[in-house]
Chains A and B, each alone.
Chain A
Amino acid sequence: MGLLSWLIFIPFFTALAVILTPQPKQIKWVALIGSGIHLLLTAYTAIKLWGVISQETFTADVFAKLYFTEQYDWFKSLGIQYMLGVDGMSMAMVILTSIIIFTGVLASWHVTERPKEFFALLLVLVTGVFGVFLSFDLFLFFMFYEVAVLPMYLLIGVWGTGPKEYSAMKLTLMLMVGSAFILVGLFALYHTSGQGTGVYSFNLNTLASFEYPKSMQAWVFPMIFIGFGILGALYPFHTWSPDGHASAPTAVSMLHAGVLMKLGGYGALRIAVYLLPDGAKEWALFFMGLTTINILYGSFGAIKQKDLKYFTAYSSVSHCGIVLFGVATLNFMGVKGAVLQMFSHGVMTGLFFALIGMVYGRTHTRMIPEMGGLAKVMPWLAVCFYVAGMASLGLPGFSGFIAESHVFIGGFFGNAWNSSVAMQVMTVLATMSIVVTAVYVLRGLGKVFLGPITDSHYLSLTDAGFTEKLTTGILIAVLFLVGVFPQFLIKLIEGSVLPILNRLR
């Protein structure tokens, strides 16, 4: 097994180890050690990759340049391979996922109900996520994609709160409809390129070497984009997301909003835009319109929420809209910003949901109006909440600022194929969401943490313990690090975004 196979299968082996662990108390330690090893291996891979990528230029590439590839025939007669590789963009996503699962395990430290199944499912889920980011054969990609989606049903259904069965079913079915669209799109790509060149293959770069007829791109592009868009919470297909996030247990919300929704943006960019550039040009404005609604709808929706989880979930809809907005700008700045936003939003939402879980664990309520003055009893959590809030409204110094400024500057620049006036108008509208974000973040957090303590039993609550401080500390450090030193990520991402944009010419 090569390096990348290890990156995918370490969580899976950890899941097996969790199942075989006899003592319930040891389970979380096994999971933590597994994800810790994964984090170290990810760091090693990232440093190694940085060593290669920082020496290269990508200005003329039209194919994704892959490193550390592993390639074996699987179903030879159909051209299906076990093909792994990594480039800057997928590396960034792997780093994100690895951080989120490590902190997610920490945040689930107090799961006592059937911990074995919980951690095993969580780890199977991230196996799927790593698989998606690292596989470059679309059959393999799709397989991992569904592995990443399905465990959600049980994770929400068993360990969730509120109307959990309903939310779990809604989420699963909507995402499955999305993957149905993707599947049909993949078949169209496979057969059109196969009939054109005589070489049937699911290899991403082989598929990219064929120029698809415009009429075909015109229907396949929206199909795949919407398919991934459903997971990326594209308006009007986002409705699963608030319900799902609100019902899910802490670590699952973290993973889902932090990582899983990024699969949508990643797939839309990596497959839809990369393989179908003409379709992208044709549909860019349409999807920009939808994502503008996304951004505004999400932030206005968040204002009205009373449940902290719904509040964050709507804010996620808005921020994931920025990801897809960036993808739809089809220019270097915007697309780069989209990938940055995936990373930044992943860490930020992870932090948000982790904090909500911690507050909920103490107050046993998530309703904003029922809380107040909590900063007096839990100063650490309050500060962390404010940091997350500031990052989410794009305060300079945090990663959100870097990402959103890239996206909106990109949107304002426009591109060569769409009306620049329309794009600028939409960009201005979308940018206004930042103001709305400030409104809901400041109002919501003010209500929860400032002012007098509303309920006397809150006085007996305690501040964050060690694992909680560790969880939040790691996430804040990452947010801050990316905010002040984004070059590392930007350089990684540029190398993989340029080939995609070069194909648009």
Chain B
Amino acid sequence: MSMLPEIIIILFAFLIIALDLIFLDKAKNYLVPVTVVGILAACAVLIFNNSDTLMLGGRFVSGAMHLWLKVTFLIATLLVVILVPESTSENLKNRLSSVGEFLTILLFTLAGMMYLVSCQDLVTLYVSLELATIPLMVLSSWNRDDQGGEGAIKYLVIGALASAFLLYGFGLIYALSGELSIPAIMPQLTEGSPALYLAAALITAGIGFKLTLFPFHMWAPDAYQGAPILVTAYLSGASKAAGLVVALQIFYRLFGHFIVDWAPFVAVLATLTMTLGNVVAVLQENLKRFMAFSAISQAGYIILGFLGNTGADISAMIFYMLVYVFTNLAVFTVLIVHVQQTGKETIQSLRGMSRLNPGLALILMIGLFGLAGIPPLAGFIGKFFLFNVAAKSGYYWLVVLAVLNSTVSLYYYLRLVRQMYIEVPAEGDKPLKIKPLTMLGLGFVTVGMLGLGLIPYFYEQIGRDAAQWLAF
């Protein structure tokens, strides 16, 4: 049964909440290991029991590409889950409360993201998207303070609006084609219909919210800043990847024939998004807000992939998403350890890190260089392939803007590096303590940041699988 991984995740979500309710404090130390076991079990089932199958009358499919995407989501969640103990130690100021509920809600989001990959019609797509989004709104207000509340309410209101846009777009598609199943819709659509453009615009707005594209990004900085930093990590990585999956489903599998017509708009959106993200990030002082704008600019780079229309172009996008999830998590892992243990969230507070924690500082630097796109990291190779897609479609002006934007981004990433390496530690700063599980996670993402790019297998295989998945 190819839905088994999703079912495992949901069962574990209920198991966690039950354990938490029944055993109360006694279960406290077992919740994270149980979650880890659940995710690993789902991963194992997914990898060893994956075949091309259809379920529920073709509404749920599974195949090679689904494996890549789902494993990405599982790994991203796993890496966040193993960081939970870093946030719950007794001596922390901003402790994460109600761990059981936190993990349950996180697992529901994960299930939503996994369904998003496999679903085959508009209704299940919409429901999965909501399942992936609404729990995140709850998580982002976890701190129950003013900032968390403000961020979450913005996230909620704008998210509701985005859902409305998306539904309206889906409605128009249904009206145009009379079908709900994604593969069946495509042949029914005809070119040049104004309603189609309207639907595409509405859906772009809906997806733009999830991907934090300009001008639908307004919620992101506040929500990212208000949320606990664990959730920020999840929002800026996995949640964005989920948005990309929706975009792929719709733009390639629904509108595949018309993607060329949509390219100029994508080019404009990409330009605005990356420029805004990069320019505003320069001015930030708060680490979480800084990462929010960095994530916005990254979304601008990712959608460059939509300028192309072949399997190779899509693989550039998915590959970069994979690389981005890893790199972003590497950065966040170090930041989470730092923010939770020092209680400080400013860029300044990183000062002297290379003397106190040379290992953490090195990984953070590699991660930041990965985000900036510096060779030989996978971040560079991924960006190179994305720019290549834009160049291939003749958008040289966009490539120029994108690489200049990368230079700007290098400036602000170097600001962090400067604090860590050039400045000396403040009086009384102590080295951070790292839990063994976190260390394991850090090692894993570091290998990922380097290996994903240097080993050609990942890119090439994603290319083959993507071409098969999105064949049009």
Residues of A within 8 A of B (CB): 73-78, 117, 139, 142-144, 146-147, 150, 153-154, 157-158, 164-165, 169, 172-173, 176-177, 179-180, 183-184, 187-188, 190-191
Contacts and interface: CB of A to CB of B under 8 A. Distances in A.
Given A146-B375, A180-B404, 17 more contacts: A74-B456, A75-B456, A75-B459, A76-B456, A77-B463, A157-B422, A165-B418, A169-B414, A173-B407, A173-B410, A177-B404, A180-B400, A180-B403, A183-B387, A188-B396, A190-B391, A191-B391
9 contacts: A77-B460, A139-B384, A154-B421, A157-B421, A158-B422, A172-B410, A176-B407, A184-B399, A187-B387
Task: Give chain B's interface residue range (CB within 8 Å of chain A).
Answer: 20 to 34
B369 A150 contact: yes
B421 A158 contact: yes
Interface string B333-376: 00000000000000000000010000000000000010000111
A158 B391 CA distance: 37
A169 B411 contact: yes
Interface in B405-442: 406-407, 410-411, 414, 417-418, 421-422
A412 B65 CA distance: 63
Contacts of B374: 146, 150
B327 interface: no
A143 B411 contact: no
A153 B368 CA distance: 14
Contacts of A144: 375
* Interface SS majority for chain A: helix
Contacts of B418: 157, 165
Contacts of B392: 191
B388 interface: yes
Interface of B: 312, 354, 369, 374-376, 380, 384-385, 387-388, 391-392, 396, 399-400, 403-404, 406-407, 410-411, 414, 417-418, 421-422, 456, 459-460, 463
Contacts of B385: 78
B388 A177 contact: no
Given A158-B422, A187-B391, A177 B407 contact: yes
Contacts of B410: 172-173, 176
Given A77-B460, A146-B374, A165-B422, A183 B380 contact: no
Contacts of B404: 177, 180
Given A153-B417, A187-B399, A143 B391 contact: no
Contact of B460 (A75, A142, A146, A147): A75
Contacts of B411: 169, 173
B399 A78 contact: no
A357 to B, nearest CB: 21
B421 to A, nearest CB: 6
A380 B400 CA distance: 51
A146 B380 contact: yes
Contacts of A176: 406-407, 410
A80 B456 CA distance: 10
Contacts of A188: 391, 396
Contacts of B380: 143, 146
B421 A147 contact: no
A209 to B, nearest CB: 20
Nearest to A183: B403
Contact of B376 (A76, A143, A164): A143
A187 B387 CA distance: 8
Contacts of B422: 154, 157-158, 164-165
A139 B380 CA distance: 11
A142 B459 CA distance: 19
B407 to A, nearest CB: 4
